[in-house]
Amino acid sequence: MRKGISRFIREPRTIILIILVMISLAAISTLGIPQGLDLKGGSIIQIQLEKPVDPATMNTITSVLDKRLNIFGVKDVKVRASGNQNVIIEIAGVKPEEVARIVGSPGKFEAKIDNKTVLTGADIVSVQSPIIRGNQWEVPFRISPDGAKRFAEAAEGKAGAPVDMYLDDRLITSPEISPDVAAGKPVTDVAITGAESTRESAELKAKEVETLLKSGSLPVKVKIVGVSSVSAELGGEFTKGAIIAGLIAIIAIIIILIARYRTPVLVLPIFFTTLAELILILGVAAIIRWNIDLAAIAGILAAIGTGVDDQIIITDEVLGEEKVKRRRRMFRIREAFFIIFASAGTLIAAMLPLAYVGFSRGATGIGMLAGFAFTTVLGVLIGVFITRPVYAKFMEYIIG
């Protein structure tokens, strides 16, 4: 037994597995396991574009929306394309209604004199922080010299005339043209002003205007077609339920294995091999920042279940060699691995279409299949190439 243990520990595959488990534990403890919104709580906003767009335009849209949310102060946010006409936004720590107007607005700015556009968002160079006085708000910004010159030419001789400032075709304010500007003197410092019923509403409105001016306009019109939220408390319940389900599954597996083999010597290696697979999967998720949500947990359980099946095949083969030497054996360990690889290949082939559909559709609905498919494939690959060969060596050296 001692000789077998010594040979097993010196096996290169065993050493590699131990190193990878240590790296995974370090990654989990330092980086943490990224959790999906259904576990940590948050909201998903689905945005639909007025028409399908090409990849370059979609990149512009997602970049502008991400910039808007960061400017607005939303820290935990993910913006990604879903096909060529939809965008999925995941946010945490903020109510969806607070950012709905930010992400659902094109952000088109125009300043008009006599109903003629003299300034657009492209003329804005910088935007200063809002100024709040009671329920009055003001958002100062600076325009380019060319824009200032064009504005002065349009305003010349029109002292006291209104300058209608629009944001997304909605009139925000109409300041009067000053005598200096009416005399043809270019002015680069401009401001949008307004008033709300309360100071809190004024602060929110000023922040909204500031965000839209800073981030720029979207190349197409957008609309919000769906909002779904999961509270942090409900996310905690989901996490607790997933842990309980996992523990029940482990206990059931142990009971079945003890009933089959009637010795813990065979049960413990299977348990520790399964635990190593789980640690490696979570370690990879921590390193690549892959969100672990309910769909991903289902994929992990599927991969672990497949792993237990494969370990039973290996165990039966080793016991068959030892106990039934005179009988003609159906499988050897190499032939058992042929079955394992064939099964893994079939499972991966079945998961790839789900992963493709999921990634192309985003994070909701059928798109949740991406998390299930990815974690299942990841778990199967880790098991087939790392943990199950080590388990086979253990059975060969210790049990065989």
149 with 55, same domain?
Answer: no
Asked if residue 226 is part of any domain, the answer here is: no
Its pTM stands at: 0.61
Please report, for the domain that includes residue 77, its CATH number. 3.30.70.3220
Q: Which pLDDT score is estimated for 26?
A: 93
235 with 333, same domain?
Answer: yes
Please report, for the domain that includes residue 156, its CATH number. 3.30.1360.200
124 with 90, same domain?
Answer: no
127 with 250, same domain?
Answer: no
pLDDT in tens, the chain (400 residues): 566 677 778 888 889 999 999 999 999 999 888 877 767 777 788 888 888 888 888 888 888 888 888 777 776 677 888 878 888 888 866 677 777 777 877 778 888 888 888 888 888 888 888 889 888 888 888 888 888 888 888 888 888 888 888 887 888 888 888 787 788 788 888 888 888 888 888 888 888 888 878 877 788 888 888 887 766 666 667 667 767 877 787 788 778 777 777 777 777 888 888 889 989 999 998 898 887 877 788 888 888 888 887 888 777 777 665 544 434 444 455 656 666 666 666 666 666 666 665 555 544 444 456 777 788 888 888 888 888 888 888 877 766 5
Q: Which pLDDT score is estimated for 151?
A: 86
Question: Of the residues 154, 184, 217, which one is the last residue of a structural domain?
Answer: 217
144 with 74, same domain?
Answer: no
193 with 328, same domain?
Answer: no
Q: Which pLDDT score is estimated for 1?
A: 59
Asked if residue 222 is part of any domain, the answer here is: no
Contact 253, 268 (CB under 8 A): no
Q: Which pLDDT score is estimated for 173?
A: 80
160 with 209, same domain?
Answer: yes
Total structural domains in the chain? 3
30 with 163, same domain?
Answer: no
Asked if residue 297 is part of any domain, the answer here is: yes
25 with 49, same domain?
Answer: no
Q: Rounded to a whole number, what is the largest CA-CA distance in the chain?
A: 110
Asked if residue 132 is part of any domain, the answer here is: yes
Q: Which pLDDT score is estimated for 125?
A: 87
β-bridge partners, 191: 140
Asked if residue 73 is part of any domain, the answer here is: yes
395 with 263, same domain?
Answer: yes
203 with 323, same domain?
Answer: no
Question: Of the residues 217, 243, 274, which one is the last residue of a structural domain?
Answer: 217
Please report, for the domain that includes residue 251, its CATH number. 1.20.1640.10
254 with 334, same domain?
Answer: yes
Query: Residue 125 sits in which domain range?
Result: 107-217
d(CA 49, CA 84): 9
